[in-house]
Amino acid sequence: MPPRPKRKARGEQEPRKFDLTWGTGGDPLPGGGGNHPLLVLSSDTDGGRSKVAGFDIDGTLITTKTGRKFPTGPKDWKWLYPSVPKALKQLHRDGFRVAFFTNQAGIEKLRVKPEEIMSKIDDMIAQLDIPVFAFVATGTNHFRKPAINKWVYFEENCNQGEKVDRKESIFVGDAAGRAKGWSERKPRDFSCSDRKFAANLGVPFQTPEEYFLGEDAAPFSWGTVDPVDLLEKATPSPELQYHAQETEMVIMVGPPASGKSTFCKTVFKPHGYEIINRDTLGTQAKCLKAAKAAIENGNSCVIDNTNPSPDVRADYIDIANEAEIPCRCFFMATPLELANHLNMTRQNQTEGEARRVPDVGYNVYKKKFEEPSKDEGFSEVVRVEFSPKFKSERDEEIFKQWT
């Protein structure tokens, strides 16, 4: 289904309205604003500009009138500082494309309606009385900051072919990684996603306090692993023969997105191993049944699940023992923080086709995890260290971005 025609922005002759668009221009994606992962407000007639002044919204441009943490409705807002409207109008006069880039996961969680976000932004622009473009990620999809896809969508689809000079642009946001105590009046930042968003783009970044009030920059922490540093420290994995000649069972162990499935498809599948995965079969009972059937048919199999605890692994070991075949364990020794990065990277690399594993998946794994040991009945436990291999330069560049 092609994207719907965009409406005109404020300051033009035709009425200004939001337009729901697919973002990728392709088929509906799971989740996010009723299959709309990105809400876009732009113009087909307002000329392109080479400089962009991008802003987060909540906590950056506006705050609540009621003083509550979250707005009670689309009318519960006021400018964060009195100087905000004047500053944005000046940016427009100076030749910048003023644009809002905001995450609104509440839409996907059904806590807020898309129309409420649209109405609020519409009222903001009406007060500014300048053309403003807006890009709203409606859930935890590949358009969510710090992924750069919202900005890239603007550059490729909404700027009338004008090339954006990112180094001459700016992004302002309040999710800047500042710790508790950075200000006597404000709490610590809930994340560092806005600063990461700008860093991934190569766009200069400021907090609202720096930009609107002229305050000095406060200390901050990125809060996650540095992907570039990880690549520099990673060592190439040796080219070993991991498959066996005789029938066997292999049990994978590792957190979500640690590379288990890729390892299985690369190392075992070409040699005839049956890959058994709970994501495909649905339940542990069906996985056990499939493993037993594979062994009875004389086929080796690999259990491609997280398998965090000895109790879960014991059920498969019992099947191997009954069949009198060896059972090996391959432990993906990927730290949880790195696995989380790979989780979000995978979503961005596939443009949302692979949805990220929710945090609860990692919490459950961490709670149940016990490092595998030969004492459980394994003939061998193979520890597999993180060693990245990329299918393309694009995948490598996405991996290097902050998440």
pLDDT in tens, 147-195: 999 999 999 999 999 999 999 999 999 999 999 999 988 999 999 999 9
Task: Name the pLDDT band for 233 (thresholds 50, 70, 90).
Answer: confident
Does the pLDDT of residue 134 top 50, yes or no?
yes
Among 86-100, 221-235, 300-314, 347-361, the range scoring the smallest mean pLDDT is 347-361
Please give the Cα distance from 337 to 173 (Å, whole number).
24
pLDDT computed for residue 389 by the predictor: 86
* pLDDT grade for 2, boundaries at 50, 70 and 90: very low
Report the pLDDT value the prediction gives residue 235, as an integer from 0 to 100.
79
Question: What secondary structure does DSSP assign to 136-157, as a single string?
Answer: EE-SSSTTSTTSSHHHHHHHHH
Looking at the predicted structure, is the pLDDT value of residue 3 above 50?
no
Residue 24: pLDDT band with limits 50, 70, 90: very low
Check: CB of residue 382 under 8 Å from CB of residue 332. no
What does the longest C-alpha to C-alpha distance in the chain come to?
A: 79
Distance, CA of 168 to CA of 254 (rounded, Å): 43
- Number of alpha carbons in the 13 Å side-chain half-sphere of residue 349: 20
pLDDT at residue 11 above 90? Answer: no
pLDDT tens-place string over residues 364-402: 999 999 999 999 999 999 999 998 889 899 999 999 999
Output the pLDDT for position 336: 93
| 367 CB-near residues (< 8 Å, 6+ apart) | none
Its pTM stands at 0.85
pLDDT at 372: 98
Q: Which two tokens stand for residue 166?
A: 């990112």
Task: Answer whether residue 221 shows pLDDT above 70.
Answer: yes
For residue 143 the two structure tokens come to 């358009």
Residue 338's Cβ-count burial label (10 Å; 0-12, 13-18, 19+) is buried
Return the H-helix or E-strand segment holding 41: strand 38-41
Q: Which domains does the chain have, with CATH numbers?
A: 19-213 (3.40.50.1000), 233-399 (3.40.50.300)
If you average pLDDT over residues 288-297, what whole number do you get? Answer: 97
Encoded amino acid at 204, one letter = P
Residue 47 pLDDT grade (very low, low, confident, very high; cuts 50, 70, 90): confident
Look at residues 210, 203, 107 and name the one whose alpha carbon lies nearest to residue 151.
203
pLDDT at residue 239 tops 80: no
Name the band, by pLDDT with cuts 50, 70 and 90, for residue 35: low
The percentage of the chain sitting over the pLDDT mark of 70, rounded to a whole number, equals: 91
Asked if residues 174 and 208 have their Cβ atoms less than 8 Å apart, the reply is yes
